Amino acid sequence: MTRRARALFAAAAVATLALAGCAATDDDAAEPTASASAEAATPEADLEGVPDVVAVVNGDEIGIDEFRTAYETRLQSAALSASSTGEEVDQEALKTETADLLVNNRLLTQAASDAGIEATDADVDDVLQGVADQAGLEDVAAVIDAFAEQGVDEDQVRQDAAAQFQIDGLIAQEAEIEEPTEAELQAQYDALVEQAEAAESGSEIPAFEDVRDQLEEQTITQQQNAATQQLIDDLRADAEITVNL
């Protein structure tokens, strides 16, 4: 599995699918160069001083191994972004951000369990097949093998997939998502066309019919993001959280 493909799943496991916002690019030919550059630019993870128990969420511990997996993935992504600007990655800030995301993830899975949302083996396989489809892999076994090459064992992969299923189920249950009307989608399209024309980029503007489904998906995702953040805020307000960084 490439660095990018691993990030598709790991980012989702760290936060939520809605907040991850990751997708494969259409330029597959450019991927090897980008991945190689990311690997070369990624600094060594500085985990000195990080305790064995990174955080405690309502009595549930987040350990160093879970933190390390999430942090190293985010470090790769941050290094790739930083390389385009010539800046260095602020690892201290990144560690704090990673801990916060793990806390959010744990709050969501705890709430899902309280709501009776649990993942069966079939549910886990469905999540992993979705990862395979996004990453251009053949099947679930290929996903498991690819993570194994990155040092992540099958039990951990399946645990993360189960957590993602719980989070998705919780958001679907709690979020009030309204499908946008045709008029709303058309208004969004008209605004984008106006912006493109004002920018005078010279790029060809696709027809509304060609981007309609993309606009609808984006609108629904924005609603999911807002609902997820509100749910996290509400859970944090009532939770007992200790972060040991």
- Residue 41 has what pLDDT? 65
What pTM value is reported for the model?
A: 0.75
Would you give the distance in Å from CA 64 to the centre of its chain?
A: 20
Positions of the chain with pLDDT under 70: 1-41
3-state class (DSSP) for residue 242: strand
CB 64 within 8 A of CB 50: yes
- Residue 69 has what pLDDT? 85
Whole-angstrom Cα distance, residue 227 to residue 4? 27
Residue in the structure block whose two tokens are 């809605």: 18
Q: How far is CA 213 from CA 129, 154, 186, 197, 208, in A?
A: 22, 35, 11, 22, 9
- Residue 175 has what pLDDT? 83
Sign of torsion over alpha carbons 202, 208, 211, 215: positive
CB 226 within 8 A of CB 178: no
Angle (nearest 5°) at CA 192 between 186 and 195: 145
- Residue 5 has what pLDDT? 41
Angle (nearest 5°) at CA 136 between 131 and 141: 60
